[in-house]
Amino acid sequence: MPWRVGPAERAAGQRPDPYRIWLSEVMLQQTTVAAVRDYFVKFTTLWPTVRDLAAAEDAEVMGAWAGLGYYARARNLLKCARAVVADHGGAFPTSRDGLLTLPGIGPYTASAIAAIAYDEAATVVDGNVERVMARLHDVHTPLPAAKPELTALATEHTPVERAGDYAQSVMDLGATICTPRNPACGICPLRDPCAARIAGTAPDLPRKTPKKLKPTRHGIAYVVRRDDGAWLLETRPPKGLLGGMLGWPGSDWGDDPAPAPPLEADWTTLPAQALHTFTHFHLKLTVQTATVGPEATANRGQFVAQDQFQPADLPTVMRKVFDLTRQEPDLWG
């Protein structure tokens, strides 16, 4: 993992950089290491320090984040970087309590940075640690009710010395050995004291309260292309889902949203819908397309010239809409 400082580098005196740990932890929330790796390299190449990131344009950062999902995190990332520069002279606070005062840094991220960068005995509890604790102590209370109990157990195990190495070890143990299915108990360093291994309950833990089914919302996305090749795009309002991201003008999303075309045109409805799943709902977007002349004016958004338009800057759901338009020969003629 490119944000880690290995034992040999540590022995040579290299300390983990809180900026890189913070960036990786924010990126890793709700996402896998494999999905984050390239984004992390891109961000640290474009913005090697928190000062560089704080000075970046919002649109540039949102564009670089596109595809990682959960876009509120990207907005918080910028807010936090700017607070570090404005209020802390460009250096992250060096304690968990100090880190918690920064925007977008919650208990988990504050503990991870404090433990890994500063070796503070802060307890880091993510899904991997919860699983290890539930099994090590054979806790049968279902999640999320079990969280306080599992956090208390994780706190008991957190050492005063080398808290950073411990935090990374227990997270890695959960990610690589004590995996959700088929835990590799035979090679686990905790196999002797592990209560769930002894009881034979490890694969069933942690128990989870069944999730509610996600509802499905519907919407309409309007893809307009001008004769000169320009696309009608809009930057979404800063608050709310996909806030601040580039997208196609569209209707509200709900059970039966009212049409909200951005201009008068002869609309074509594509046969396929764009399907996307957010944290709390599924979305089915009907895609309507139109081509317009040079005199067209829209009641929202703005035309972006073909050579200025980067589909990669679109969040995933908007890119799915764009990909569907390739079925529409009039738009690409």
Where does 156-239 show beta strands of DSSP type E? 216-226, 231-235
Helix orientation angle between 58-65 and 72-88, rounded to the nearest 10 degrees: 140
Intra-chain end-to-end CA distance of the chain, in Å: 45
130, two tokens:
């919860």
Among 162, 191, 218, 282, binds ligand SF4 (CB under 6 A): 191
Nearer to ligand SF4, 49 or 141 (CB): 141
3-state class percentages of the chain: helix first, strand second, coil last, to nearest 5 = 45, 15, 45
Nearer to ligand SF4, 54 or 132 (CB): 132
Among 20, 75, 96, 135, binds ligand SF4 (CB under 6 A): 135
Segment lying near ligand SF4 (by CB under 6 A), choices 107-115, 130-138, 148-156, 294-302: 130-138
Among 194, 220, 233, 265, binds ligand SF4 (CB under 6 A): 194
Least CB distance to ligand SF4 at residue 193 (A): 8
Cβ-count burial of 215 within 10 angstroms (0-12 exposed, 13-18 middle, 19+ buried)?
exposed
Sign of the dihedral through C-alpha 116, 118, 121, 124: negative
Segment lying near ligand SF4 (by CB under 6 A), choices 19-27, 56-64, 100-108, 189-197: 189-197
Q: What Cα–Cα distance (Å) separates residue 238 from each residue in 83, 140, 241, 313?
A: 18, 42, 9, 16
Nearer to ligand SF4, 105 or 136 (CB): 136
Sign of the dihedral through C-alpha 238, 314, 24, 180: positive
Least CB distance to ligand SF4 at residue 191 (A): 4
Q: Is 114 in the site for ligand SF4 (CB under 6 A)?
A: no
Matching residue, tokens 């399907």: 275
Segment lying near ligand SF4 (by CB under 6 A), choices 107-115, 186-194, 279-287, 295-303: 186-194
**Rounded to the nearest 5°, which phi and psi values hold at 77?**
-60, -50
The answer to whether residue 161 is catalytic is no
Among 27, 132, 245, 246, binds ligand SF4 (CB under 6 A): 132
One-letter amino acid at 135 equals R
Least CB distance to ligand SF4 at residue 189 (A): 8
Show the binding pattern over residues 28-67: x = contacts ligand SF4 (CB under 6 A), - = does not.
----------------------------------------
Q: Is 197 in the site for ligand SF4 (CB under 6 A)?
A: yes
Least CB distance to ligand SF4 at residue 159 (A): 17
Q: Is 190 in the site for ligand SF4 (CB under 6 A)?
A: yes
Among 117, 178, 283, 290, binds ligand SF4 (CB under 6 A): 178
CA gap 103, 193 in Å, rounded: 40
Segment lying near ligand SF4 (by CB under 6 A), choices 3-11, 25-33, 177-185, 310-318: 177-185
Q: Is 73 in the site for ligand SF4 (CB under 6 A)?
A: no
Tell me the DSSP string of 17-78. Answer: PHHHHHHHHHHHTTS-HHHHHHHHHHHHHH--SHHHHHTS-HHHHHHHHTTS--THHHHHHH
Least CB distance to ligand SF4 at residue 103 (A): 36
Matching residue, tokens 């990786």: 24
Among 35, 83, 185, 260, binds ligand SF4 (CB under 6 A): 185
Q: Is 175 in the site for ligand SF4 (CB under 6 A)?
A: no
Q: Bridge-partner residues for 70, per DSSP?
A: none
Residues that bind ligand SF4 (CB under 6 A): 132, 135-136, 177-178, 183-185, 188, 190-191, 194, 196-197, 202
Catalytic (active-site) positions = 25
